[in-house]
Structure 1
């Protein structure tokens, strides 16, 4: 019994010790895990004036008792992948005064209101009377156009795929190309239409001053239809003078340059994208499609603002080429059209550039005619959408509106009759 009591006492005395050891091990490991491992920082070599450090740089191999040499930074200048641009302040085109650039990726928060202020323009709702006359005159419509446009919509949205939901980035440009092809089939009827050409990814560069601020329009912009002869002015001289008392809407508290790229490295460049001697040097109509990506998606008002900015940039660049860089009031107004679409809604705009004196808001204004949100159809579906045995969306094309294509055709025909 004494032996058992001795064994019990020893074991009882040993347990607390084991427990204490285990707790100590756990606490040490936990403290080590909580402790953040700091990377070893290399000590800077001590520089003593008048003494030269002896390094192993000339030996080309490591020597532990010699100092580590300071090698110059290696640069691969011949490979563009490893090119590092110098700081902006060291560039040749650096300027202290910043400028603001409108590119195709910009989405103006103020929409058309902001674009009108930047371009010093007056907005008139609806299309010009000349284009309205082309729409209303049945002599300018070609036969069987309703069925042809219906087939173009079906080909872009239904026939070319077996998917139930067609991606807009596929059917939107295809529908625009199909409608332009229908217009090109009338070149035999109207010979003047053969004096035009299309330029894809039209490159544009121009600038102007507004309230002591420099603005630019740069980049590749959609599809341009250019012609050998310019479009005739739509507003008379009396109508141009009538725009002088018009007051531009203020964007306060927003800045007029909101959503524009601010840069300090820029060049005063005026380029319409055509070389000297190009026969089709007059911009006629700019065709734009809404960006299909989620990040670049814009609202209809922002798309119309983009149409106005690009059309103004093309007209301003052409005006400086014709009348010089210092022109203010244009001797002859320049007219540029623009059409924008997201595959269902169409927006039509006509710009008449009357002046490039944009320093102040006084004086005559440029004139903009705009008609937006013109639906070509309501819905397109492979199969009907039903709920409780009620057809919500019918199969095929529903709500087809051929009058929208008539306006598209009138914009295309303008200047040829």
Structure 2
């Protein structure tokens, strides 16, 4: 309720379009901007997790919550330099690396997995070409920090993307942080990793949580038939359902904002 109603902010919201009645012209609505609403939701979630520290001391020992850590790194793909940079909302940093999700036997078996072939389309077709003059790897810390190892990223979604697209963005950031950590541990020129590097991510919008678990097994991504990197998605975990007003319907139930089907089970998975 805090992120949905219990905020005094009331600004003009973008004009709404309902797919059930595309011709209906909604009057101007005032309320909490989506970006602010998601930010409050995420902050409250983090605060709730912190409030359980006394009950689960082992879960928070050796970890620190870091605000807006900047990531800048790159990799080579088909003789092209691909740059990844950005800033998640929070990062849970740890003094120990996250344990691998898959064992060595599973990693070795990944050589038998076939990758989809996009030919004649290049996988980088949607990437923007630009000049950049700093391709060094930066994980957000200019000086050594005991809790700089990435454990869990927290990202907020205030766009109109669907959950699949948002999970792809989480995968990109997990890959970037895992790659930066691998180079920090094993050297800037590392290709075959002595040990996997794992990173988690939670991304959310106003009502839904999405989880991503990523394991970096290799930086040799140009060799076909080699070891593969792993990712697991848990998508569309809806905390509650928010029904927006539909004034053209006769039932007054549809004339106001309604929040229903509260499901707090997903909180325990963060």
Q: Is the 8 A contact 1:384 1:395 kept in 2?
A: no
1:162/1:271 CA distance change after superposition, 3 Å: closer
Give the alignment partner of residue 371 of structure 1, picking from 206, 230, 234: 234
- Counterpart contact for 1:379–1:393, Cα < 8 Å: no
Match of 2:72 among 189, 197, 205: 205
* TM-score normalized by the length of structure 1: 0.56
Q: Which residue is 2:19 aligned to?
A: none
Distance 1:206 1:385, change over 3 A: same
Residue 42 of structure 2 corresponds to residue 176 of structure 1: yes
The CA distance in 2 between the partners of 1:247 and 1:189, in whole Å, is 45
Residue 403 (1) aligns with residue 265 (2): yes
Task: Check conservation: 1:203, 1:218, Cα contact below 8 A.
Answer: yes
Q: Judging changes above 3 Å, is the alpha-carbon distance between structure 1 residues 252 and 323 closer, same or farther for their aligned structure 2 residues?
A: same
- The within-5 A match list for 1:125-144 is none
Deviations 1:171-190 (A, max 9, x none): 11100110110000111122
- Give the Å deviation of 1:316: 0.4
1:87-106 → structure 2 map (5 Å cutoff): none
- Residue 254 (1) aligns with residue 254 (2): no
Q: Which consecutive unaligned segments of at least 5 residues does structure 1 have?
A: 1-153, 409-417
Q: Which has the greater radius of gyration?
A: 1
Q: 1:385 to 1:285 in 2, by over 3 A?
A: farther
Match of 2:154 in 1: 287
Root-mean-square deviation (CA, aligned residues, Å) is: 2.3
Compared CA separation, residues 388 and 220, structure 1 to 2 (3 A): closer
Corresponding residue number in structure 1 for 2:33:
167
How far apart are the structure 2 equivalents of 1:256 and 1:302?
15
**1:220 to 2:78 alignment:** no
Distance 1:393 1:347 in 2: 30
Deviation sequence 1:260-302 (CA, Å, 0-9, x none) = 221344343112112343111110111111244xxxx433222
Aligned pairs for 1:32-71 within 5 A: none
| Cα distance change on mapping 1:325 and 1:404 into 2, 3 Å | same
Structure 2 counterpart SS, 1:372: strand
Indicate if the aligned counterparts of 2:38 and 2:158 stay in contact, CA closer than 8 A. Answer: no
Q: Do residues 196 (structure 1) and 63 (structure 2) align? A: yes
CA–CA distance in structure 1, aligned partners of residues 190 and 134 of structure 2? 19
Aligned match of 2:200: 337
Cα drift, residue 315 of structure 1: 0.4
Q: Does 1:278 align with 2:145?
A: yes
**Matched residue of 2:235: which SS?**
strand
Deviation track 1:348-399 (CA, whole Å, cap 9, x = no partner) reads 0000111111222321101101111121111167x99783235247765211
Counterpart secondary structure, 2:124: coil
Residues 96-125 of structure 1: CA distance to partner in whole angstroms, max 9, x if unpaired?
Answer: xxxxxxxxxxxxxxxxxxxxxxxxxxxxxx
Higher relative contact order (CA 8 A, sep 6+): 1
Preserved contact between residue 98 and residue 197 of structure 2 (Cα < 8 Å): yes
Does structure 2 retain, via aligned residues, the 8 Å contact 1:212–1:359? no
Using the TM superposition, give the Cα deviation of residue 329 of structure 1 relative to its aligned residue in structure 2, in angstroms. Answer: 2.0
Q: Which runs of 5+ in 2 are unaligned?
A: 11-29
Contact 1:210 1:360 in 2 (8 A): no
More helix by share: 1
Mapped pair 1:155 → 2:18: no
Helix, strand or coil for the counterpart of 2:4? helix
